[in-house]
Chains A and B, each alone.
Chain A
Amino acid sequence: MLTGSQVLFKILEQENVDTIFGYPGGAVMDIYDELARHDIKHILVRHEQGAIHAADGYARASGKVGVCLVTSGPGATNTVTGIANAYMDSIPVVVFTGQVSTALIGNDAFQEVDITGITRPCTKHNFLVRSVNDLGRIVKEAFHIARSGRPGPVLVDLPKDVIQGLTDDATLAYPLSFSEDAIEPIEAKCAEALPLIREAKRPLIISGGGILLGKAWNELSALAKNLNCPVTSSLMGLGGFPGTDPLWLGMPGMHGTYYANMAISHCDLLIAVGVRFDDRVTSKVEAFAPHAKIVHIDIDPVSIDKTIKAHVSIVGDCKPILQLLNQWLANDKTARSGEQTQAWLEEIARWKKKEPLDYGSGEKIKPQFVIEKLYELTKGRAIIATEVGQNQMWTAQFYKFDEPNSFISSGGLGTMGFGLPAAIGAQMAFPDKLVVDIAGDGSIQMNIQEMATAVQYNIPVKIIILNNGFLGMVRQWQEMFYNKHYSQTTMNFAPDFVKLAEAYGAKGLRATRTEEVESVLKEGLAAPGPVMIDIRVEPEEGVYPMVKPGFPLTEMSLVNKTA
């Protein structure tokens, strides 16, 4: 006979779970009691939102399923933002929540909440386990669902009596109780796309997070090389194509590069791979890629024709699809040469020269300069997490991501407070890599309690706060659209971040002048253990280029007024 807790850990071990991010409470005490008898590492966070973001960051960095364990009621509801965050970005995490005993469910018991009801719209699937005899199968299915197809978060709600219950099911072998979605054959659809690809003179590839989730970065590069075709990618796709490659155009969309947006607006073929055409990428849908035939490759049929109509859609795993296209194109040298795109690449080179990513100089530290310096010092080899807002956009623009899974950022939901716990998660996946969280002074305070977690376990994340004393992105919108009426965005009351770091037992550093940036970064990056670096940047610096929401991608504000 096994207890529910024992069944749970047996399956976690079957699934090769090595780290759990969690926080105990009444409903999960039996699980925590059992935890001590297993080899799985447990990171005690300081808030359950930290646990789910850390599991998410772990999953993004490692490509494995992240695991989070919290108690019932507030423990469960505190994970909801993080679950929605993982759902929007298709990140595989399994969240175990405690629940009151089955006999008490529905009685408004202490710390009871209908968490499966609450998370139904923001999980890929969720389960309330009603019997210990179903537990093993459900946990197994949860992992399968989280990582299969288009990945996503799965929540498993564990009533206390189920966890305490006994089962004689000791085989712990569970065939899936549901049939997998039939995979459409890809050959016919690829064949349909091939003539479009062959004929294109101005092709462009736009890739997304699907390239990383599908581990298809090599195939993506091969396709770009085969076609001599430029590549842009959504925020979620950064790192899926080398940021130092001459064919790389940077990110498109609202804060995309001039040349990426111009390329989208002038291409005759857009090959979209693992990208869902978010409104921050397309801006005005009717004006998006107006001259292009669109080939859309995605594992989720829902993404096809959702906002942008595809001429040819290929539903499936992008890796074998790109492999097949590459194979056909490689055997097809006579029909297509790299020179076919020469004029197009020259035009793009002119755009690059005309409007490169740039920022002026000023008396105060330019935040973009900090990111460039960080890139220089890390040689692009760090894992970079971000918070959300200007800090995130400057990072996406000025750090050249060469390696897959090296950019950890909340794309779809735009969750402030994501970066620090996500960096902790990423560092747990790669203890020997340099992991940096780029933060703003606003967002860092949303989950700053996780500094204690980083210090307790000596998780040596380096936090760089681009401190401008504002909620910068909202301030920028107020500057542009609300006549500089900075309503509630001035955050000039902040803790002394250096002292705060020290209070947590971490190292705190500060730079207030441009000349100090390099040495402070060097010192911070080289120091062992967690470090918080407060960099006082130009307060009213904006993120440019910027396409105003609802405008065509060709209509970009390019000038940084404070420059």
Chain B
Amino acid sequence: MEIRENTISILVKNKPDVMARIAGTFSGRGFNIETIAVNVTEDPQVSKIIMTVWGNQDTITKIEKQLNKMVDVLQVDDLTGKDAVRREMMLIRVEMPSGEGGRLMQTIDTCKGKVVSSEGNYWIIEVTGDRETIEKALAALKPFGLDDLTRTGTVALARQNDKVRR
């Protein structure tokens, strides 16, 4: 069976130990979390977690079943095969070499990034997009003197509602 990156969307109760439970289930059952993004939904008692996980369909089915068993998990959706919008965000700090400003601005434009901070020689550039966009931006910006970076996990939303929400 094909090993691929899978995107799982999990609605959970917004409680302090929920993340520990989910992470524990993954580590205890030998599944590896690639990326994770979590925040509260429009209902403050419910959070949504988007996880990306490498594995074949068998693994993903097992993960879904384990998650569905958990008392604090309200709903699990596999977005992998679905038409969904996927986004990551990267903040990248570069130490500007003198005289490179113009070329850097050009590169930022090509990467669809924007400068969100410029303190002294340090610029922070924000890039949002799918995984490929982020990887390309990283490769393009790196030569300017990468100082540090931080990336979010993938967030994803199916383009159409094909499920009745519980």
A interface, CB within 8 angstroms of B:
116-117, 120-121, 124-125, 128, 145, 178-179, 181, 300-302, 305-306
Pick from B24, B69, B74 the residue with the most CB of A within 10 Å: B69
Distance, CA A125 to CA B69, complexed state (A): 10
Q: A178-B71, A179-B166 are in contact. Are A120 and B65 (CB under 8 A)?
A: no
Contacts of B62 in A (CB 8 A): 302, 306
Q: Residue of B at shortest CB range from A125?
A: B71
In the complex, how many angstroms separate the beta carbon of A208 from the nearest chain B beta carbon? Answer: 18
A301→B24 contact, CB < 8 A: no
Given A121-B24, A121-B28, A116 and B17 touching (CB < 8 A)? yes
Given the complex of chains A and B, what is the CA–CA distance between A302 and B76 in angstroms? 14
Tell whether, in the assembled complex, residue A117 and residue B71 are in contact, meaning their CB atoms are under 8 Å apart: no
4 additional A-B pairs beyond A301-B68, A302-B66, beta carbons within 8 Å, are A117-B20, A120-B21, A125-B70, A306-B62
Contacts of A301 in B (CB 8 A): 65, 68-69
Question: Contact at B61–A305, with CB atoms within 8 Å?
Answer: yes
Interface size on B, residues (CB 8 A): 18
- The interface residues of chain B lying within 8 Å CB-to-CB of A178 are 13, 71
User: Which 7 pairs between the two chains have the least Cβ-Cβ distance?
Assistant: A125-B71, A302-B65, A121-B28, A301-B65, A120-B24, A121-B24, A120-B21
Beta-carbon contact of B20 and A302 below 8 Å: no
Q: B interface vs A, CB < 8 Å?
A: 13, 17, 20-21, 24-25, 28, 58, 61-62, 65-66, 68-71, 74, 166
For the complex, what is the distance from the CA of A125 to the CA of B18, rounded to whole Å? 11
Give complex CA distance A145, B72 in Å.
12
Q: Min CB distance, B70 to chain A, in Å? A: 8
Min CB distance A151 to B, Å, is 13
Q: Within the assembled complex, what's the spacing in Å between the Cα atoms of A128 and B70?
A: 16
- Determine how close the nearest CB of chain A comes to the CB of B93; give it in whole angstroms: 34
Residues of A within 8 A of B25 (CB): 121
CB of B105 to closest CB in A, whole Å: 48
Chain B: CB-nearest residue to A301: B65
| CB proximity of B107 to chain A, nearest CB, Å | 46
* Selected A-B contacts with CB under 8 Å, 20 pairs: A116-B17, A117-B20, A120-B17, A120-B20, A120-B21, A120-B24, A121-B24, A121-B28, A124-B71, A125-B70, A128-B17, A145-B71, A178-B13, A178-B71, A300-B69, A301-B65, A301-B68, A301-B69, A302-B69, A305-B58
> Complex: how many Å from CA A300 to CA B69?
8
For the complex, what is the distance from the CA of A120 to the CA of B61, rounded to whole Å? 22
Q: How far is the CB of B103 from chain A (nearest CB, A)?
A: 51
Pick from A116, A120, A124, A179 the residue with the most CB of B within 10 Å. Answer: A120
A302 to chain B, nearest CB (A): 5
A300-B62 Cα distance, complex, nearest whole Å? 12
CB contacts (< 8 Å) of B13 on chain A: these are: 178
Most central of A116, A121, A181 by chain B CB within 10 Å: A121
A345 to B13, CA, bound (A): 53
User: Given A116-B17, A121-B28, A306-B62: A181 and B166 within 8 A (CB)?
Assistant: no
Task: Give the residues in chain A near B71, CB-CB below 8 Å.
Answer: 124-125, 145, 178
Q: Please give, as numbers and ranges, the residues of chain B lying within 8 Å of A145 by CB-CB distance.
A: 71
Least Cβ–Cβ distance between A306 and chain B, in angstroms: 7
